[in-house]
């Protein structure tokens, strides 16, 4: 693990030198391709993605369902292997390290938040948050103490002993965010983190991610369908035909199309009424 994150991570935390600079490339992809087999045919999810993200950036990736956003995040977080191309983290190639080192990379350097929280319903909120630390072999008392601290950060200190299944959807996603960050990663990957929430809760969760991104000096990449939230990031990229393009022009067109579609549905409903 020292080879891949030694320059930026020590004991699961960013070293002072790395964070004080606040600049420089943290994540890079070169010619990233992912092709899936489907029966006798092949489906190209990513067709040669080139991406560079500097430390401290908050980047939004938008695109229609099935455009490959989740596939890209899986490759960036070493949850999947590219068909070709390379992912670099802190200047080191992920394909050059062992499976054991990749496991440690995922546990220490990256925090994941998904559209569905994937909490263990029969465990308490604090137990769910502590899971990544317990998996690392940290003593239960220390892991639960850190988990309590993160539940306080996300505004759920009073819900620590409630089982995950007893929490609302918004609360469950707050627990998922605390779980993602309890290891103090440098990189946060969020795949449609507000997709299962109503508009009010979606805004609240995004504001929480924004606050934690700033206060913990994270580098964050969010895949989202919500164009209004995407605009609040430092940069917006659009995934089209398996390639990333700069976001503003495509984003405006997609937003206009979405507005026209919404208006059309409303007019049709009025006519039926």
Highest mean pLDDT of the ranges 96-105, 112-121, 173-182, 255-264? 173-182
User: For residue 271, what pLDDT is reported?
Assistant: 41
Question: Pairing between strand 9-10 and 13-14?
Answer: antiparallel
For the stretch 170-220, pLDDT in tens is 899 999 999 999 999 999 999 988 887 888 888 899 999 999 999 999 999
User: For residue 221, what pLDDT is reported?
Assistant: 97
**Exposure string for 13-52, b = 16+ CB within 10 A, e = fewer:** ebeeebeeeeeeebbbbeebbbeeeeeeeeeebbbebebe
Q: Considering the chain, what is the average pLDDT of its residues?
A: 83
User: For residue 255, what pLDDT is reported?
Assistant: 52
User: For residue 194, what pLDDT is reported?
Assistant: 84
Four-point Cα dihedral 77, 78, 81, 85, nearest 10 = 70
For the stretch 209-230, pLDDT in tens is 999 999 999 999 999 988 888 9
Instruction: Say whether pLDDT at 136 is over 50.
Output: yes
Query: Per-residue confidence at 273, pLDDT binned at 50, 70, 90?
Result: very low
d(CA 236, CA 250): 10
Instruction: Say whether pLDDT at 40 is over 90.
Output: no
d(CA 134, CA 179): 11
Nearest residue to 35 (alpha-carbon basis) of 48, 23, 24, 22: 48
User: For residue 247, what pLDDT is reported?
Assistant: 53
In contact, 223 and 25? CB cutoff 8 Å: no
**pTM (2 decimals)?**
0.82
- Give 238's strand partners: 62, 245
DSSP 57: -
* Element housing 28 (H / E): strand 25-38
For the stretch 247-261, pLDDT in tens is 554 454 555 554 444
Domains by residue range for the chain, with CATH: 2-109+185-272 (3.40.50.300)
For tokens 């596939």, the residue is: 71
User: For residue 16, what pLDDT is reported?
Assistant: 37
How many Å from the N-terminal Cα to the C-terminal Cα in the chain?
A: 63
d(CA 45, CA 104): 27
DSSP 68: S
In contact, 234 and 58? CB cutoff 8 Å: yes
User: For residue 86, what pLDDT is reported?
Assistant: 96
């Amino acid at each position: 693990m020292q080879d891949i994150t030694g320059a930026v991570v020590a004991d699961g935390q960013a070293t002072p030198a790395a964070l004080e600079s606040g600049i420089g490339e943290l994540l890079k992809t070169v010619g990233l391709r992912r092709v899936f087999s489907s029966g006798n045919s092949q489906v190209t999810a990513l067709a040669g993605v080139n991406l560079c993200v500097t430390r401290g950036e908050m980047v939004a990736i938008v695109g229609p369902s099935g455009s490959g956003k989740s596939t890209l995040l899986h490759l960036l977080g070493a949850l999947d292997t590219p068909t070709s191309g390379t992912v670099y983290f802190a200047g080191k190639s992920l394909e050059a390290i062992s499976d054991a080192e990749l496991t440690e990379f995922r546990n220490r350097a990256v925090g994941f938040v998904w559209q569905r929280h994937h909490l263990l319903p029969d465990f308490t909120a604090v137990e769910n948050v502590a899971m990544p630390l317990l998996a690392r072999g940290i003593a239960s008392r220390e892991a639960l103490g850190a988990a309590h601290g993160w539940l306080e950060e996300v505004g759920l200190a009073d819900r620590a002993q409630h089982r995950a299944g007893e929490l609302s959807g918004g609360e469950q996603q707050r627990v998922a965010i605390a779980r993602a960050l309890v290891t103090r990663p440098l990189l946060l990957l969020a795949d449609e983190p507000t997709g299962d929430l109503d508009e009010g809760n979606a805004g609240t969760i995004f504001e929480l991610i924004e606050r934690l991104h700033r206060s913990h000096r994270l580098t964050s990449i969010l895949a989202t369908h919500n164009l209004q939230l995407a605009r609040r990031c430092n940069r917006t990229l659009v995934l089209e035909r398996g390639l990333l393009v700069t976001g503003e022009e495509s984003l405006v067109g997609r937003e206009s199309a979405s507005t026209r579609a919404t208006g059309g549905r409303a007019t049709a409903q009025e006519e039926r009424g």
